[in-house]
């Protein structure tokens, strides 16, 4: 899937005028360079805790920077919004 995304991005970059965009677009269309970029990006994402585009919480809580501590308990409940006229 990432292969197709990089090919589409490379084609779009080739349409935009400029030397830098042409170089990046051409790099996205060359299979060996594209596979190297994808491999590096997926390894980086796995180190950061991202799987299939979703941030995965490490053992022991929420993702870093979320500001919440979670001790493995889930609290379920319902809520309803009350407008000022309903009071």
Domain boundaries, the chain: 1-48
Q: Residue 80: what pLDDT? A: 80
Return the biggest CA–CA distance within the chain: 65
Query: What pLDDT, in 10s, does the model give residues 18-64?
Result: 999 999 999 989 999 999 988 998 888 777 776 655 665 555 555 55
> Residue 16 — left, alpha, or beta (φ > 0 → left; ψ -120 to 50 → alpha)?
beta
Span 4-28, mean pLDDT?
92
Six-digit token string for 31:
């299979």
pTM for this structure?
0.50
Q: CA 29, CA 47: separation in Å to the nearest integer?
A: 26
Confidence bin at 77 (pLDDT 50/70/90)? confident
């Amino acid at each position: 899937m990432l292969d197709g995304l990089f090919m589409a991005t490379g084609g779009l970059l080739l349409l935009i005028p400029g030397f830098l965009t042409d170089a990046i677009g051409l790099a996205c269309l060359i299979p060996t360079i594209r596979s190297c970029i994808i491999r590096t990006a997926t390894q980086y994402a796995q180190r950061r805790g991202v799987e299939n585009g979703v941030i995965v919480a490490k053992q022991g809580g929420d993702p870093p920077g979320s500001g919440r501590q979670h001790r493995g308990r889930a609290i379920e409940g319902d809520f309803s919004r009350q407008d000022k006229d309903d009071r």
